């Protein structure tokens, strides 16, 4: 039976054509494929030249960032995740992951200019008044926001925060310290997680509030980077009750973490593909002992391992994004996002290290793309929940619900 295979079913064996047998395990919808293709073209055409400039100057020109954002908006990439009623496109999580994957093909965080999302999680929890006062300016390109969650004594353990809001008449008075507040240098307001009595709440605090104090903007391993991460204090910071988000702060933070972990996983996949492409090309060009080094198994095997791990990470990330879009149990989506983030963030560490090894001394040069990625991807195993926390989330879900919900 040439050209056919046998598949056992309830009614016995049946013939399956080879064409049917090799249908991709996960096929992206046509609109997502088209969006990814446009995003990749934008990254290579518009961002890579700026990336090269940053490598030469070792700094990011904010005028270049503003220019990239304008161009990305003109090409229809801005705020795609936001509701249509606010001017967005209601882009699926799978579509957002597709754009984030292409964003990972740029260094220095410059890919965020094409993956320019709005605060969808806030929209799902906020009042209409809050949406008009805080979110609408973002949609018009007049403002940006920053989440203030992590503290000196509470990172992945969000329940350990000590920032507190105390009711005073019709206002709330917030006191506490936040670290690693990404985009704090450009944000118009902060989404602050704080205790309000016995429950956690989110408060919308404007940058010009007299109670907002910036301690410093530390330098990090991945600098120069598109965004800065502030250490800041809220000192007797008074906000009106209308600026307290009515939904649970804990659930709001969890929804944000779920999305962010999927985006980290997606960017890791984009980075891995670019590094594998570059390492492959270099291995075919570089000659040692009379042969391209691609002829040697010592180079072939690391490339094979990297490609295999990339394929697995990408499928897991798409699978988790599709689960999010199905709108089922948020706890399952949270667990699958943890699985994707864990595997992809550890995958990219290995892929980057192997690529740098293939490039040899050139890869160790500060200006080389492998060097830049080597410094940048290390944080993927830390921010938005360490690898250890991801394992804890996965293990708790497994012990509570069994494996089936996470693999079906």
- How many Å apart are CA 207 and CA 175, to the nearest integer? 15
Which CATH code, of 1.10.540.10, 3.30.70.1530, 2.60.40.10, 3.40.50.300, is assigned to 30-118?
1.10.540.10
pLDDT confidence tier of residue 249, bands split at 50, 70 and 90? confident
CATH topology of domain 250-407: Butyryl-CoA Dehydrogenase, subunit A; domain 3 (1.20.140)
> pLDDT digit string (tens) for 61-71?
999 999 999 99
Amino acid 11: pLDDT: 43
> pLDDT digit string (tens) for 286-299?
999 999 999 999 99
For residue 142, give the 3-state DSSP assignment.
coil
Amino acid 247: pLDDT: 84
Average pLDDT of 352-376? 97
Residue 7 has pLDDT above 90, yes or no: no
DSSP assignment of 268-331 equals: HHHHHHHHHHHHHHHHHH-EETTEEGGGSHHHHHHHHHHHHHHHHHHHHHHHHHHHHHHT--HH
Average pLDDT of 211-240? 97
What are the residue ranges of helices labelled H in 126-248? 128-130, 136-139
Which CATH code, of 2.40.110.10, 2.40.50.140, 3.40.50.300, 2.30.130.10, is assigned to 144-246?
2.40.110.10
Beta-carbon contacts of residue 233 (< 8 Å; ≥ 6 apart): 176, 177, 178, 213, 215
Number of Cβ atoms within 10 Å of the Cβ of 48 = 15
pLDDT confidence tier of residue 269, bands split at 50, 70 and 90? very high
Average pLDDT of 36-48? 98
For residue 361, give the 3-state DSSP assignment.
helix
DSSP assignment of 31-99 equals: HHHHHHHHHHHHIIIIIHHHHHHHHHHSS--HHHHHHHHHHHHHTT-TTTTS-GGGT-----HHHHHHH
- How many Å apart are CA 270 and CA 40, to the nearest integer? 10
Residue 23 has pLDDT above 70, yes or no: no
Beta-carbon contacts of residue 56 (< 8 Å; ≥ 6 apart): 367
Average pLDDT of 328-340? 95
| Average pLDDT over all residues of the chain | 93
For residue 259, give the 3-state DSSP assignment.
helix
Tell which wins on pLDDT, 156 or 101.
101
- How many Å apart are CA 332 and CA 338, to the nearest integer? 10
pLDDT confidence tier of residue 16, bands split at 50, 70 and 90? very low
Question: What are the sequence ranges of the domains in the chain?
Answer: 30-118, 144-246, 250-407
> pLDDT digit string (tens) for 78-133?
999 999 999 999 999 999 999 999 999 999 999 999 999 999 999 999 999 999 99
Q: Token pair of 358, please?
A: 């293939």
pLDDT confidence tier of residue 25, bands split at 50, 70 and 90? low
């Amino acid at each position: 039976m040439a050209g056919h295979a046998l598949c056992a079913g309830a009614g016995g064996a049946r013939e399956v054509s080879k064409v049917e047998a090799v249908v991709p395990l996960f096929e992206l919808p046509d609109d997502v494929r088209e969006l990814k293709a446009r995003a990749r073209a934008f990254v290579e055409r518009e961002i890579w030249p700026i990336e090269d400039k940053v490598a030469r100057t070792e700094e990011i020109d904010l005028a270049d960032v503003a220019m990239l954002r304008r161009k990305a908006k003109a090409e229809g990439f801005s705020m795609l995740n936001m509701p249509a009623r606010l001017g967005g496109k209601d882009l699926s999580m799978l579509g957002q992951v597709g754009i984030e994957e292409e964003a990972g093909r740029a260094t220095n965080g410059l890919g965020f200019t094409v993956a320019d999302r709005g605060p969808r999680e806030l929209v799902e929890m906020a009042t209409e008044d809050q949406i008009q006062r805080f979110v609408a300016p973002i949609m018009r390109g007049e403002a940006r926001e920053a989440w203030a969650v992590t503290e000196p004594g509470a990172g992945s353990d969000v329940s350990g925060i000590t920032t507190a809001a105390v009711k005073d008449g019709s206002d709330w008075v917030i006191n506490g310290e936040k670290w690693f507040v990404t985009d704090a240098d450009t944000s118009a307001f902060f989404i602050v997680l704080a205790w309000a009595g016995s429950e956690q709440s989110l408060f919308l605090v404007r940058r010009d509030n007299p109670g907002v104090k910036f301690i410093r903007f530390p330098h990090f391993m991945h600098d120069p980077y598109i965004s800065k991460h502030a250490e800041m204090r809220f000192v007797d910071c008074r906000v009106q009750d209308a600026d307290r988000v009515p939904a649970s702060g804990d659930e709001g933070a969890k929804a944000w973490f779920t999305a962010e972990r999927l985006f980290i996983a997606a960017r890791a996949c984009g980075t891995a593909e670019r590094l594998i492409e570059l390492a492959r090309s270099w291995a075919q060009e570089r000659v040692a002992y009379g042969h391209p080094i691609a002829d040697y198994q010592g180079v072939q095997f690391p490339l094979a391992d990297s490609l295999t791990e990339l394929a697995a990470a990408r499928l897991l990330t798409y699978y988790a994004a599709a689960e999010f879009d199905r709108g089922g149990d948020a706890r399952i989506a949270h667990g699958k996002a943890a699985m994707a983030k864990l595997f992809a963030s550890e995958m990219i560490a290995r892929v980057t290290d192997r690529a740098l090894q293939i490039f040899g001394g050139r890869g160790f040069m500060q200006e080389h793309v492998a060097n830049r990625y080597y410094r940048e991807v290390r944080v993927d195993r830390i921010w938005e929940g360490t690898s250890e926390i991801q394992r804890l989330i996965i293990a708790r879900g497994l012990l509570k619900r069994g494996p089936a919900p996470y693999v079906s």
